[in-house]
Structure 1
């Protein structure tokens, strides 16, 4: 593991919402949504909300707006709908809402994905940023992509980024 430029605060718990964007998954079949929750809880973070919604831009934006109004939630992690198929609208819905983007997240995610899956990584539109003082991460829906993004990028930086947002 690479050294951290400055230490994170020890014992900081981040409260997250997990949002699976899918036209076909149910709570029983949503392996990626469950994986996000399991990985967060393994690091002693809290899950305030979990839901599955269809890949409809208006519904995605409405759900993000609603979750962002909850003062307890620090971060919202989405999975699904980040490709280029006609029904993949998550990136477009999320990107339009972001007040600040974290371009390095998508860049690093695609770089790490390239190391695992090769040139198909160019089709990923993973994105992250800030919306209404909440961290937003949007990952592809595959469990391998979720594990990669969570273990290599989100979990190592979650406390640091939330601490910065809290001021």
Structure 2
């Protein structure tokens, strides 16, 4: 795939190292068995990024909103991050409420993130991809990307979408 000269220029001007927060939304995981959150950290750090915060919260709107508010620069004294990467709670079961909690906070949506994730996921798992409510957007100028909770879904999103495009996305989100 060939990029336009402006895309290449934007990518060249994007920050090489980002500061990230990683959040796992789960009623059953602890850090010792959070394989998806651990994979996000591993892949992000291998790509040269810094993970400034990592947490696991239950699939409840309030702790999720609190984490996003703190790490998206809305909490005085807390270090702001370039992006918050979230895993879990994107399905359609009654307990899956991540999509609703995050979507309500976004100041700008990035529909292409979820659309591209589902397209790539379809190539791997077929029509079951429609059960994913992966979502992306901005909370003010902080990028928020929400991936499903499975390790395979995280690997797909991180390697095919997030890591290749996140620095460019952060650059565009921070333009004045």
Q: TM-score, normalised by structure 2?
A: 0.90
1:27 aligns with 2:31: yes
The alpha-carbon deviation at position 71 of structure 1 amounts to: 4.6
> Match for residue 9 of structure 1?
12
User: For the aligned residues, what is the CA RMSD?
Assistant: 1.3
Unmatched runs of 5 consecutive residues or more in structure 1: none
Alignment match, 2:93: 85
Task: Please say if 1:67 is aligned against 2:71.
Answer: yes
- Inter-partner Cα distance in structure 2 for 1:121 and 1:162: 27
Deviations 1:125-148 (A, max 9, x none): 000000021000000000000000
Gaps of 5+ in 2: none
**Aligned pairs, how many?**
166
Query: Does structure 2 retain, via aligned residues, the 8 Å contact 1:13–1:45?
Result: yes
The alignment's TM-score, normalised by the length of structure 1, stands at 0.95
Question: Is the 8 Å Cα contact of residues 32 and 141 (structure 1) preserved in structure 2?
Answer: yes
Q: Find the counterpart in structure 2 of residue 145 from structure 1.
A: 153
Deviations 1:91-143 (A, max 9, x none): 00001111110101111101111110111000100000000210000000000
Q: Does 1:95 align with 2:103?
A: yes
Q: Could you say if the C-alpha distance between residues 84 and 162 of structure 1 is closer, same or farther in structure 2, counting changes exceeding 3 Å?
A: same
